[in-house]
Amino acid sequence: AGAAGAGGLVVGAAGGAVGASMASDDGGSGARLTSLGTTAVPFHGTRQPGITTPAQARTVLVAYDLEPGTDRAGTAALMRRWSDTAARLGRGERPDADGQVALDAGPSSLTATFGFGGSLFDKLGLADRRPGALKALPSFPDEELDATRSDGDMLVQVCGDDALVCFHAVRTLQRLARGVARVRWQMTGFTRSPGATLRPMTHRNLMGQVDGTGNPQTGDADFDAKIFIGDEGAAGGAAWARGGSYVVVRRIRMLLDAWDDLDVPAQEHVIGRRKDTGAPVTGGDERTEPDYGRRGPDGRLVIAENAHIRVSAPEFNRDATMLRRGYSYHDGFRPDGTPDAGLLFIAWQADPRQGFVPVQQKLARGDALSAFVRHETSGLFVAPPGCPEGRYVGQELLE
């Protein structure tokens, strides 16, 4: 899922020193091998990073539960430690003695994005500040959810272009949580590395499809209203959430053996887009609008009634819009020999009741893709707005 958004920023001072030391290993030519390591994404700002940031090559999602007895002050102190550390890691600093894992690397576009689950508000006695849209998601037909890998009091989404840098960040944040919060579940995802293709392209998922084309773009007039929480969503006691966003996380296993049994035209029929270019099956290129009314010589709709793009597109869902910023996962093979692989579906939106929920209700009933996927885990979290320097994420809620 190729997310739209402002690009990472290539830093001069802090990252430059790292780049120089990286270049000393290149055989003496002094040329920098790549700018991948030196690219830094600022942590502070009105939005948290990792939402509109173009998808980095890796993600590690870690959900935490508060330890019994953790109160609001303890949670606030953790969020301060986490925010300060995420900002420093994002600049490529190594804030503790255990920085060796990532010692030679630059920031590598590292981002950490924090979210709160509904259970956190109950545990901290903050039910009156819980935003209205942070409700348990309804159940959907045919899902097979594993409760132990679903939900959680807090979510940390770490993304970066280097696996060691990501591990280091995850481990550093986890150490800071000791005694306050415990890891509930973790998932690791990947997508294409920058530079793997000659020019930047929309990513492919593990079914081989170009995935992310239909995403809203940051330049769209209604982008902020659709993706970030506005006045309405921040009503009642939830004023602290204004400028934040909801994220739905679903681990969706792909039944890849069954999928591979389809020939390419049949696969394209399921989605409504071509596999090679990502163009609609009604013609053109990736950016051409699908012609949903077009019928073939047999009188049938060329983009089938149950094609994934027709069932999910905003124009057929009362404008329901999400920013899909998912990652692939592959965790080996299951006892029956099939791949344990699929999509870590990660979708950001201003209100899941007008985004994910109605769309998934429709997909679960009438999407041709449903026969080839299984939803295995589920989570809904509210990500507070970003914070300026000197403050921490979630401060308006917790202080």
Could you list the active site residues?
211
**Contacts with 386 (C-beta within 8 Å, 6 or more apart), sequence order:** 43, 44, 45, 46, 47, 48, 49, 243, 393
259 and 199 in contact (C-beta within 8 Å)? no
Please choose, from the candidates 208, 218, 217, the residue with its C-alpha nearest in 3D space to the C-alpha of residue 273. Answer: 208
203 binds ligand HEM (CB under 6 A): no
Closest by CA to 90, choosing from 116, 56, 126, 129, is 56
Report the residue number, 113 or 209, with the smaller CB distance to ligand HEM: 209
Residue 354 near ligand HEM by CB under 6 A:
no
Closest CB to ligand HEM among residues 312, 354: 312
Residue (207 or 350) nearer to ligand HEM, CB: 207
Please identify, using beta-carbon distances, which residue of 135 and 178 lies nearer to ligand HEM: 135
Query: Is residue 168 a contact point for ligand HEM (CB under 6 A)?
Result: no
Using the structure block, give the residue that is written with the tokens 């094609």: 307
Helices (H) and strands (E) in the chain, counts: 10, 11
Q: Which of 208, 214, 230, 237 binds ligand HEM (CB under 6 A)?
A: 214
254 sits near ligand HEM (criterion: CB under 6 A): yes
Question: Helices 163-177 and 72-90 meet at what angle, rounded to 10?
Answer: 160
- Looking at residue 148, what DSSP letter applies? G
Enclosing H/E stretch for 163:
helix 163-177
What's the closest the beta carbon of residue 354 comes to ligand HEM, in angstroms?
12
Alpha-carbon span 215 to 51, nearest angstrom: 13
Tokens coding 335: 């006892």
How far apart (Å, rounded) are the C-alpha atoms in residues 43 and 84?
9
Stretch near ligand HEM under the rule CB under 6 A, chosen from 47-55, 112-120, 169-177, 201-209 = 201-209
- 348 near ligand HEM, rule: CB under 6 A: no
53 sits near ligand HEM (criterion: CB under 6 A): no
211 near ligand HEM, rule: CB under 6 A: yes
Choose which of 212, 243, 379, 385 interacts with ligand HEM (CB under 6 A): 212
Residue 262, token pair as written in the block: 């389809």
State residue 247 phi and psi, 5-degree precision: -120, 130
By CB under 6 A, name the one of 47, 58, 273, 325 that touches ligand HEM. 273
Residues in region 302-341 near ligand HEM by CB under 6 A: 308-309, 312-314
Q: Toward ligand HEM, which CB reaches closer, 207 or 387?
A: 207
Q: Is 363 in the site for ligand HEM (CB under 6 A)?
A: yes
Strands 339-349 and 154-160: unpaired
β-partners of residue 186 are 62
Instruction: Identify the residue among 38, 75, 108, 213 touching ligand HEM (CB under 6 A).
Output: 213
Return the residue of 180, 271, 323, 346 that touches ligand HEM, per CB under 6 A. Answer: 271
Does residue number 343 form part of the binding site for ligand HEM (CB under 6 A)?
Answer: yes
Interior CA angle at 69 toward 67 and 73, to 5°? 95
Indicate the residue type of 356. Answer: F
* 349 is a site residue for ligand HEM (CB under 6 A): no
Binding site for ligand HEM (CB under 6 A): 205, 207, 209-214, 252, 254, 271, 273, 308-309, 312-314, 342-343, 345, 356, 359-360, 363, 369, 373
